[in-house]
Structure 1
Amino acid sequence: MRALGAAYVGYALEQRGMFELMFRHDLLDSTGQEPTGGPRLRESTQPLFGLLVSLVSRCGAAEPEVTTAALWANLHGVAQLWGWGSLPLMVADAGIPVERLVDAALDAHLGPASGSPS
Structure 2
Amino acid sequence: MDTDPRQRLIASATALLTDEGVEAVTLRRIAREAGVSHGAPLRHFAGRAELLSAVATTGFAELRRRGENLPGSAPRERLLAACRAYLGFALDNPAMFELMFRHDLIDAAEPELASTNTAAFDHLSELVGAAQRDGWRAGTDRRLLTASLWAALHGLAELWLWGGLDGTRVRATLDVTLETYLG
Q: How many pairs are equivalent?
A: 99
**How high is the TM-score relative to the length of structure 2?**
0.48
Name which of 85, 90, 98 aligns with 1:7.
85
Q: How does 1:60-79 map to 2 (within 5 A)?
A: 60=132, 61=137, 62-79=140-157
Over 3 Å counting, the alpha-carbon distance change for 1:43 and 1:87 in structure 2 is same
What is the Cα deviation at residue 80 of structure 1? 0.6
Q: Paired residue for 2:61?
A: none
Distance of 2:83 and 2:126 partners within structure 1: 15
Q: Paired residue for 1:40?
A: 112
Distance of 2:86 and 2:156 partners within structure 1: 10
Does the Cα contact within 8 Å between 2:159 and 2:165 map onto a contact in 1?
Answer: yes
Distance of 2:108 and 2:152 partners within structure 1: 27
Instruction: Name whichever of 21-30 and 43-52 sits farther off.
Output: 21-30
Does residue 1:82 correspond to 2:154, yes or no? no
Does residue 1:56 correspond to 2:128, yes or no? yes
Matched letter for residue 40 of structure 1: E
Distance of 2:149 and 2:108 partners within structure 1: 27
The gaps in structure 1 that reach 5 residues or longer are 34-38, 113-118
Q: For residue 165 of structure 2, give the secondary structure of its aligned residue in structure 1.
A: helix
Distance of 2:158 and 2:114 partners within structure 1: 20
Q: For residue 85 of structure 1, give the secondary structure of its aligned residue in structure 2.
A: coil
Q: Paired residue for 1:23?
A: 101
Over 3 Å counting, the alpha-carbon distance change for 1:43 and 1:27 in structure 2 is farther
Identical counterparts, % of pairs: 40
The gaps in structure 2 that reach 5 residues or longer are 1-78
Q: For residue 21 of structure 1, give the secondary structure of its aligned residue in structure 2.
A: helix
Matched letter for residue 97 of structure 2: F
Structure possessing the higher relative contact order (Cα contacts under 8 Å, 6 or more residues apart) = 1
**How high is the TM-score relative to the length of structure 1?**
0.71
Tell me which stretches of 4 or more aligned residues in structure 1 moved more than 4 Å: none
Q: Paired residue for 2:16?
A: none
Structure index of larger Rg: 2
- Structure with greater helix percent: 2
What is the Cα deviation at residue 42 of structure 1? 2.8
